[in-house]
Amino acid sequence: MLARTRFVVLAFFAVQACVGIDVDTGDPRVGEEGRVRFGGGGCAAGSSTTLAVGSTQTLTLEPQSAALPADLTTASTTPTIIEARPGAAPDQVVLQANQAGSARIELHSAGGIWDYLEFHAEPAASVTFTAAPAVFAGATAYVKIDEVYGACGESCPLLGQGFLRWSAPALTPLRDSNGVAYFTAGATGDTRVEGREPSGGALLVDHPLRVVPVADAGALHAQVTIALPDESVLDPQPAPVEIPAGSLFLVQVQADAAGSTVPLAGADVTWTIEGDASAVALYDSGTEDPPEGPIFSALAPGSVELVAQIPLLGRTERFPLTITSP
């Protein structure tokens, strides 16, 4: 659980914003029988039972007293509004919001209802997102949805991912995965990335993007974001850096270009580690890497070079790192 929590922090989800939030006496995610909690959904929506229309959300079943039954199945009383199906793991359930309304999500065991909880769906009214202002032609552009809100704004965060309908002239859509929409940049020049709510068409993302010629790429740099062993996250800093053993860190390559900085998505960089093999390793989170780049684990004191191969630019760059004692 600690490793998973630290991964979520490092992947730039707003975990720190959860600190200090008042909690009601009753947990709205605990089933009506009190046997399970429907966990997941990030920070702002971590206690929400409302999904954005058109979205999908994987929730983890957290037993509150006894273990989950081996024969547990899931069902929705109104699948036309919210569908429910098993997840990739036995303790997961996937909800899909098809239209506005409510549905009771039931967990069945031994021929009866083991626990249940009512979920709702409503159109998203706003989102917060992260996206770079520039990208190289032929490179991967991305828009990362950080939080989703309903009609009452930040007071009503919504669950769900993958519901926005994207349009982006000069970009080719690749996929929408884990709350991140990926594109391949085409012709150089100024363009926009738009994301609309599916049921009413409201414009929720309107992001200007400059597509830069590859020939403009200058010096390469690496920004390193470090999650310390105590789970505090340091501000991004340029390599070379010193990193305490026991930390996790994320590395993103950036290039100077015509007086500005153009970040490269992790999909456009291949990394190898040279030097002390016991000091640093790629971190296996069990999920997809953040769009900015891979996560590494600082294992033990030593010195390494992270070698970035960037086929799009025809470049290889080395970034030295020192792992220090905790």
Residue 263, CA atoms < 13 Å, CB-side half-sphere? 19
Of the candidates 104, 122, 140, which is a domain's last residue?
A: 122
Domain count, the chain: 3
Task: Verify that 227 and 197 share a domain, yes or no.
Answer: no
pTM recorded for the entire structure: 0.88
Output the pLDDT for position 30.
97
Residue position matching structure tokens 């501000």: 235
Of the candidates 122, 137, 159, which is a domain's last residue?
A: 122
- CB under 8 Å to 64, separation ≥6 — which residues? 30, 34, 35, 36, 37
Supply the range of the domain harboring residue 36: 26-122
Report which of 85, 89, 80, 88 is spatially closest to residue 107, judged by C-alpha positions: 85
Task: Verify that 220 and 206 share a domain, yes or no.
Answer: no
DSSP class of residue 288 equals: P
Q: What is the pLDDT along the chain (326 residues), one digit of tens a residue?
A: 334 334 444 444 333 334 433 444 589 999 999 999 999 987 788 899 999 999 999 999 999 988 999 999 999 999 999 999 999 999 999 999 999 999 999 999 999 999 999 999 999 999 999 999 999 999 999 999 999 999 999 999 999 999 999 999 999 999 999 999 999 999 999 999 999 999 999 999 999 999 999 999 999 999 999 999 998 999 999 999 999 999 999 999 999 998 889 999 999 999 999 999 899 999 988 788 999 999 999 999 999 999 999 999 999 999 999 999 98
Task: Verify that 226 and 313 share a domain, yes or no.
Answer: yes
Task: Verify that 315 and 223 share a domain, yes or no.
Answer: yes
Task: Verify that 93 and 146 share a domain, yes or no.
Answer: no
Task: Verify that 103 and 67 share a domain, yes or no.
Answer: yes
Residue 170 lies in a domain: yes
Task: Verify that 56 and 78 share a domain, yes or no.
Answer: yes
Task: Verify that 258 and 303 share a domain, yes or no.
Answer: yes
Task: Verify that 198 and 292 share a domain, yes or no.
Answer: no
- On whether the CB atoms of residues 322 and 298 are closer than 8 A, the answer is no
Residue 108 lies in a domain: yes
Residue 1 lies in a domain: no
Task: Verify that 37 and 117 share a domain, yes or no.
Answer: yes
Task: Verify that 117 and 31 share a domain, yes or no.
Answer: yes
179-236 pLDDT, tens digit per residue, is: 999 999 999 999 999 999 999 999 999 999 999 999 999 999 999 999 999 989 999 9
